[in-house]
Amino acid sequence: MYEFIPDNPYLLLTPGPLSTSKSVRNALLRDWCTWDADYNEEIVQNIRRRLVALASKKSEDYTVVLMQGSGSFSVEATLGTTVPQTGKLLIITNGAYGDRIAQIAKVLKLEHIVYSCPETEAPKPEVLSKFLLENPAITHVALVHCETTTGMLNPLPELARIIKEHGKIFILDAMSSFGGMPLDMADYGIDFLVSSSNKCIQGVPGFAFVIAKKEELLKCKGNARSLCLDLYDQWKEMDKSGKWRYTSPTHIVRAFYQALDELEAEGGVEARYERYCENQQLLVAGMDSLGFEALLPENLQSPIITSFLYPRSNFDFGVFYKAVKQRGFVLYPGKISQADTFRVGNIGEVYPKDINRLLEVISALTV
Ligand SMILES: *Cc1c(COP(=O)(O)O)cnc(C)c1O
């Protein structure tokens, strides 16, 4: 449908920024006035309505705040605004993005504890239960949905059930899954969900967004530890008229609007999810036949990004990377400490035919 036009020197098989359509990139080519209704009403408010509709069938219970900066800025804004001085945050981590949440909590001097799991293991509901029972002061729990470090899909339904049984506020980093996997925030009692412009919605990088349970966001006035990253104040201003408190990344926002159109044209999140799954399954089967074993077993693997073990101890990823890049594909280095891996993103303007081409390229290599 949206044919990849090779005006880029290579296809990015990365987890964001990722390959975008030419039409998304073309949408950058116009200037906008940030106080005019053409921008605030027609674009910003329209995007906000569409994001909330994507997040839940009970969309009237939710609202969304768009925030300048990359995804981590919005994670920081969410932690800094939602956890009150008297609150305590539990962070569940099994990778770099969970660790980043813990790092933010430390820098912001939030009262917090960490449930840390090995990178190749899923967090366990019974361990989470134990943490919550032994630490009744915990008010908020933060989890990463798809841990992009490995590609693991954390067991959201099981963990969410425990978090809500204990009546905690639930913050989900769904950065690399939102828009690419069906998910209704109401089903899991997610109070704050963070994602960004350059992941599964397939826009270009520059802003992120936090979808919030209205009732909970309303309680956050005056909590923020930062002026610029005050989620509540940003929301109050934006909710009135679509205005961002400070300079808005207009071109990127317009490109994101185009990306949302293209998500709808593809058939919505379900259709996109199917394409990503097909990409991922083709990739794993093909790589397996070429001697590359996936790091994770199938039951822990997301359709978003896949980690592969080096096929032998003297494998030179640098040489492999360069050879594959010369032939049109950019791969992603590994990010874990327990094994030598590299990663291949399955998301973005990437289709099964591209994965087939990649497999042909790798199979013809002698490195
Ligand atoms: C991409 C990503 C982020 C945000 O990273 P930025 O580089 O700040 O955009 C956070 N969490 C996860 C799981 C991600 O995949």
Read off the pLDDT band of 50 (50, 70, 90): very high
Residue 74 and residue 211 in one domain: yes
Q: Which of 214, 239, 264 is where one domain is finished? A: 264
End of a domain among 234, 264, 294? 264
What residues contact residue 303 under an 8 Å CB cut-off, 6+ apart? 180, 181, 273, 276, 277, 279, 280, 346
Q: Which residues line ligand 1 (CB under 6 A)?
A: 15-16, 70-72, 97, 144, 148, 173, 175-176, 196
Per-residue pLDDT of 113-128, as tens digits, reads 999 999 999 999 999 9
44 closest CA partner among 316, 230, 204, 249: 249
In this prediction, residue 41 carries a pLDDT of 96
Which atom from ligand 1 is nearest to the alpha carbon of 97? 11
For the cut 70, the answer to whether the pLDDT of residue 80 exceeds it is yes
pLDDT at 248: 97
- Report the amino acid identity of residue 314: N
Ligand 1 atom, smallest distance to 196 CA: 9
State residue 75's pLDDT score. 98
Domain membership flag for residue 1: no
Give residue 242's domain range: 23-264
Mean pLDDT along residues 312-340: 93
- Let me know whether 35 and 154 are in one domain: yes
In a domain, 78, yes or no: yes
**pLDDT of amino acid 4:** 53
For residues 235 and 317, state if they share a domain.
no
Q: Is residue 6 part of a domain?
A: no
Domain contains 3: no
Instruction: Identify the residue whose C-alpha is closest to ligand 1 atom 6.
Output: 71
Q: 309 and 210 in one domain?
A: no
The reply to whether 310 falls in a domain is yes
* Boundary residue ending a domain (243, 264, 285): 264
Distance 121 CA to ligand 1 centre (A): 20
For residue 201, the CA-to-ligand 1 centroid distance in Å is 14
Helix (H, G, I), strand (E, B) or coil at 92: strand
**Does residue 325 share a domain with residue 284?**
yes
Q: What is the mean pLDDT of residues 86-115?
A: 98
Residue 3, pLDDT score = 58
Same domain, residue pair 318 and 170: no
Buried b (16+ CB within 10 A) or exposed e, 98-136: bbbbbebbeebebbbbbbebebbebbbbeebbebbeeee
Return the CATH number at 360.
3.90.1150.10
Is the pLDDT assigned to residue 321 strictly greater than 80? yes
Residue 5 lies in a domain: no
Instruction: Give tens-digit pLDDT for 157-177.
Output: 999 999 999 999 999 999 999
Is the model more confident about 6 or about 260? 260
Number of domains into which the chain is organized: 2
In the chain, pLDDT over 70 holds for what percent of residues? 98
Q: Tell me the pTM.
A: 0.97
Same domain, 255 and 277: no
If one residue of 73, 91, 94, 97 were mutated to test the ligand 1 pocket, choosing by the most ligand atoms within 8 A of its CB, it would be 97
Q: Are 299 and 184 contained in the same domain? A: no
In which residue are the tokens 């296809």 written?
A: 11
For residue 205, give the ligand 1 atom closest to its CA: 9
- Asked if 293 and 153 sit in the same domain, the reply is no
Which residue type is seen at 333?
P
Residue 229 lies in a domain: yes
Considering the domain architecture, whether residues 152 and 299 belong to the same structural domain is answered as no
Across the range 225-230, mean pLDDT stands at: 98
CATH code for position 39: 3.40.640.10
The long-range contacts involving 99-106, CB below 8 angstroms and separated by at least 24 positions, are: 100/72, 100/75, 101/75, 101/142, 101/144, 101/173, 104/72, 104/75, 104/76, 104/79, 104/80, 105/79
pLDDT score recorded for residue 337 = 78
144 near 302, Cβ under 8 Å?
no
Query: If pLDDT is split at 50, 70 and 90, which confidence band does 24 have?
Result: very high
CB 10 within 8 A of CB 328: yes
**Whole-number pLDDT of residue 338:** 81
**259 and 280, same domain (yes or no):** no
Per the CB < 8 A criterion, the answer to whether 182 and 151 are in contact is no
Q: How many helices (H) and strands (E) are present in the chain, helices listed first? A: 14, 14
Q: What is the pLDDT of residue 185?
A: 98
d(CA 62, CA 190): 10
Does 5 score more than 80 pLDDT?
no
Burial class from Cβ neighbours inside 10 Å (0-12, 13-18, 19+) for residue 328 reads: middle
Q: Is residue 42 in some structural domain?
A: yes
Q: State pLDDT tens for residues 172-214.
A: 999 999 999 999 999 999 999 999 999 999 999 999 999 999 9
Q: Which residue has the least CA distance to atom 3 on ligand 1? A: 71
**Per-residue pLDDT tens over the stretch 231-246:** 999 999 999 999 999 9
Residue 366 alpha carbon to ligand 1 centre in Å: 34
pLDDT in tens, 127-161: 999 999 999 999 999 999 999 999 999 999 999 99
Residues 251, 192 share a domain: yes
State the distance from the centre of ligand 1 to the C-alpha of 72, rounded, in angstroms. 6
- Give the pLDDT score at 335: 82
